[in-house]
Amino acid sequence: MADPSFDVVSKVDRQEVDNALNQASKELSQRFDFRGTNATVSWSGEEAISLQADTEDRVRAALEVFKEKLVRRGISMKAFDADDPHQSGKAYKISGSLVQGIASDKAKEISKKIREEAPKGVQAQIQGDQLRVSGKKKDDLQSVIALLKESDFGIALQFTNYR
């Protein structure tokens, strides 16, 4: 039988983001302090989100409402990257994007951390935009998961396919 293993991935549930976006949009249309500011939040592509309002303050407030909804739906703030507000015609806009997958430099950093600090006999292989961690004992894998959870790599990590 193969050694126990798990995958380290950085993925966002698009349906949860869509639900957060719809909740934020509904709140922006109903809240008193957003009346008359034309504040909107919407998809602007496959992984991109656009926020728009008449003033810079209101577009920043709309971004905070959206972030609050993301956190309530269980999505890490590390998985959402937003730009600074910029003026576009009469309105102010903020563009944001969802961060998916582990970049190769981050994957190398994570695998180096595993090599240095994890128990002996644990290996990490980079497979595209994810890492496969395997070892002889499940307890060793549990300690690797704990190690990665307490470390900050600047991206949201999930642990899947634990066998």
The partner residues of 41 in beta bridges, in order of sequence, read: 51
Amino acid symbol at 145:
I
Of the CATH numbers 3.90.1150.200, 3.30.70.990, 3.30.1330.10, 3.40.50.300, which one belongs to the domain with range 14-98? 3.30.70.990
pLDDT tens for 77-125 read 999 999 999 998 899 999 999 988 888 899 999 999 989 988 888 999 9
Q: What's the burial of 59, exposed, middle or buried (CB within 10 Å: 0-12/13-18/19+)?
A: buried
Domain positions in the chain: 5-10+102-160, 14-98
> pLDDT digits over 39-87, tens only?
999 999 888 999 999 999 999 999 999 999 999 999 999 999 999 999 9
pLDDT reading at 30 higher than 90? yes
End-to-end CA distance of the chain: 11
Q: How confident is the model at residue 26 (pLDDT cuts 50, 70, 90)?
A: very high
Distance between CA atoms of residues 130 and 113, nearest Å: 15
The phi, psi pair for 38, rounded to 5°, reads 55, 40
Distance CA 162, CA 58 (A): 44
- Mean model confidence pLDDT for the chain: 90
b/e code 70-90 from CB counts within 10 Å (16+ = b):
beebebeeebbebeebeeeee
Whether the per-residue pLDDT at 1 is higher than 80: the answer is no
CATH fold group of domain 5-10+102-160: Alpha-Beta Plaits (3.30.70)
pLDDT, tens only, 124-153 = 999 988 899 999 988 888 999 999 999 888
